[in-house]
Structures are given as C-alpha cells and as structure tokens.
C-alpha cells in the first residue's frame, strides 16, 4: 500500500468520524427538543448503532495511523545505496 493510499484512507476515516459525531449531536439535540422526554425504541437503536459505528471507525483510524507510522519507520531505515520511493518519484517529476 502506497503512502498516498494510506493517507487517503486515514483522511476518509477522519471524515467519517466527523460525520458520525455530527449525526450523533443532531440526534441528541433532536431528542432534547422533543416535548416528551421518553425516547422511542427506534431512537435508542439508532443512537446505539451510531455509537457502534463510531467505535469501529475509531478502531480503523487507530490501525491506519499505526500502519502509517510503521511505513514512516521503514522509510527512515532505507539501506545505503537504495532510494526510497519518495526520492524516486521526486526525480521523475
């Protein structure tokens, strides 16, 4: 997996987390503005599902960050005489 692909996946994970948090805040705000304070079973299920999705996205983001760090360490450990992929791409431009 190239560094650009990893960064794209990390970025999409961050965007997804932001969207889920926004949806959760909107759902919570909508629940607070209702005249009756009791939530319906469907509302509770939606909030629970959003919480599960947020947890999974956070786990995915943690894995992607760990992979990115690992690739960075590999780039730093390039043996003498061997060019890193970034140097090779920069010379081609």
pLDDT category, 33, cuts 50, 70, 90? low
pLDDT (tens digit, 9 = 90+) per residue, 46-61?
889 999 999 999 999 9
In the chain, what percentage of residues exceed pLDDT 70? 70
Greater confidence (55 vs 28) lies with: 55
pTM of the model: 0.42
Q: Nearest 10 degrees: CA dihedral of 65, 71, 73, 77?
A: 180
pLDDT category, 76, cuts 50, 70, 90? confident
């Amino acid at each position: 997996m190239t560094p650009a692909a990893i960064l794209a996946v990390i970025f999409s994970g961050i965007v997804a987390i932001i969207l889920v948090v926004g949806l959760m805040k909107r759902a919570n705000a909508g629940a607070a503005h209702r005249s009756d304070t009791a939530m319906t079973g469907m509302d509770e299920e939606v909030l629970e599902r959003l919480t599960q999705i947020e947890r999974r996205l956070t786990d995915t983001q943690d894995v992607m960050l760990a992979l990115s760090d690992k690739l960075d360490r590999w780039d730093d450990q390039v043996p003498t005489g061997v060019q890193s992929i970034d140097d090779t791409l920069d010379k081609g431009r």
